[in-house]
């Protein structure tokens, strides 16, 4: 039986024809031109970064901003709240610990005479975030700077983590940011204005022992913020800004024992220093920053090396945190 003519035609149509030599040549030239432009842009951006080392960008004023800081009752969040209030911003502090949060806000109002607001909220819970966000809108107005700072850290060998500990870290460190974006990104998009700050960690750049779930959560924050920036920058008219921050170990009480072969080189940071660097980065509208500033470019550089050479450098520095005593839940 002869093959069906229509099926024969369909089969022949599906075969890909070879590109014409002129088409191949044109695409080759086009690719070469784009690569050359990209190389020139790389040189420009490197020179721009060097220039900014000596001539930092002018800091944006925050006296008309409403700044929401999660984890405002303690550590970095508390320092951020004080420093933003000092700069003239209206501060909205969220924390799960009502007592610490209220104390922070009370001290701000007494010291600066600028109205600050305290709200108790579990930032791992979407429904609580929605309810609290409605209260903030009613009492204060639309949040213009969002700082997802609250975080939890348990330090264990991987096999010693309880399921509850792992879930609490992921819910607080990762889902907090996603839920806050779910609630506040539409508001900022409607206003075409706002700044979102995600607090990652050096542990979001470099894997570390005794804190694997925490590392996972901070790598996730890094990925969320990079993806968010990629979505925002597609629309050239979008005025929402983002900043992701990678602090080294901070003395906030989250870890008990740390070690370093070169303690003068790898010093534990004070919350005040970290908070000041975060505010400077946000006000300068930097897209990402490590604290200290050398950590991120250094990590990018050594990642080019063979994996074994990279491990030897980590062995040389010998910096880590030691497991906490195991507590039952």
Of 26 and 284, more confident: 284
Supply 296's token pair. Answer: 């991120």
- Rounded to 10 deg, the angle between the 295-302 and 307-317 helix axes is 140
Residue 231 and residue 179: Cα distance in Å, rounded? 17
Question: What pLDDT does 208 receive?
Answer: 84
16 pLDDT tier (thresholds 50, 70, 90)? low
For residue 35, give every residue at least 6 positions away whose Cβ sits within 8 Å of its Cβ, in sequence order, or none: none
Residue 50 has pLDDT above 90, yes or no: no
Question: What pLDDT does 15 receive?
Answer: 56
Where on the phi/psi map is residue 194: left (φ > 0), alpha (ψ -120 to 50), or beta?
left
pTM of the model: 0.83
Residue 107 has pLDDT above 80, yes or no: yes
248 among known catalytic residues: no
| CATH 3.20.20.70 is held by the domain 66-321 | no
Least confident of 51-60, 147-156, 281-290: 51-60
* Radius of gyration of the chain, Cα coordinates, nearest whole angstrom: 25
Q: State percent of the chain over pLDDT 90.
A: 57
- Other CB atoms within a 10 A radius of the CB of residue 285 amount to 14
Mean pLDDT (the chain) is 86
Question: Average pLDDT, stretch 24-47?
Answer: 82
DSSP code, position 174: I
Residue 85 and residue 64: Cα distance in Å, rounded? 11
Question: Average pLDDT, stretch 81-91?
Answer: 96
Which one is catalytic: 119, 161, 184, 214? 214
Residue 121 and residue 131: Cα distance in Å, rounded? 9
Element (H, E) at 143: none
Contact yes or no for 142/244 (Cβ under 8 A): no
**In the chain, domain spans:** 66-321
Q: State percent of the chain over pLDDT 70.
A: 87
Question: What pLDDT does 329 receive?
Answer: 37
Of 111, 116, 59, nearest to 90 by C-alpha is: 116
Question: What pLDDT does 307 receive?
Answer: 82
Residue 200 has pLDDT above 80, yes or no: yes
Residue 225 and residue 174: Cα distance in Å, rounded? 11
């Amino acid at each position: 039986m002869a093959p069906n003519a229509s099926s024969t035609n369909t089969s022949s149509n599906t075969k890909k024809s070879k590109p014409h030599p002129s088409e191949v040549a044109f695409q080759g030239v086009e690719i070469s031109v784009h690569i050359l432009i990209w190389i020139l842009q790389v040189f420009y951006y490197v020179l721009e970064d060097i220039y900014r080392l000596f001539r930092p960008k002018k800091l944006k004023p925050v006296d008309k901003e409403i700044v929401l800081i999660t984890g405002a009752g303690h550590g970095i969040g508390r320092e951020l709240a004080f420093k933003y209030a000092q700069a003239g911003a209206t501060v909205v502090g969220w924390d799960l610990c009502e007592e610490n949060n209220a104390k922070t806000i009370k001290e701000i109002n007494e010291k600066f005479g600028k109205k600050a607001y305290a709200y108790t909220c579990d930032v791992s819970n979407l429904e609580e975030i929605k309810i609290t966000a409605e209260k903030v809108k009613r009492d204060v107005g639309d949040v213009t700077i969002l700082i997802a700072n609250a975080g939890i850290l348990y330090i264990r060998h991987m096999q010693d983590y309880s399921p509850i500990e792992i879930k609490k870290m992921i819910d607080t460190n990762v889902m907090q940011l996603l839920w806050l974006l779910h609630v506040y990104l539409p508001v900022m998009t409607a206003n075409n204005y706002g700044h979102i700050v995600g607090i990652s960690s050096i542990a979001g750049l470099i894997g570390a022992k005794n804190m694997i779930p925490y590392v996972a959560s901070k790598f996730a924050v890094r990925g969320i913020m990079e993806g968010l920036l990629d979505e925002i920058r597609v629309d050239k008219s979008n005025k929402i800004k983002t900043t992701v921050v990678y602090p080294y170990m901070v003395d906030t009480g989250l870890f008990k024992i740390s070690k370093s072969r070169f303690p003068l080189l790898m010093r534990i940071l004070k919350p005040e220093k970290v908070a000041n660097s975060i505010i400077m980065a946000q006000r300068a509208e930097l897209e990402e920053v490590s604290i200290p500033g050398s950590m991120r470019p250094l990590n990018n550089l050594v990642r080019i090396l063979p994996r074994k050479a990279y491990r030897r450098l980590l062995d040389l520095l010998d910096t880590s945190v030691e497991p906490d005593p195991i507590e039952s839940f």
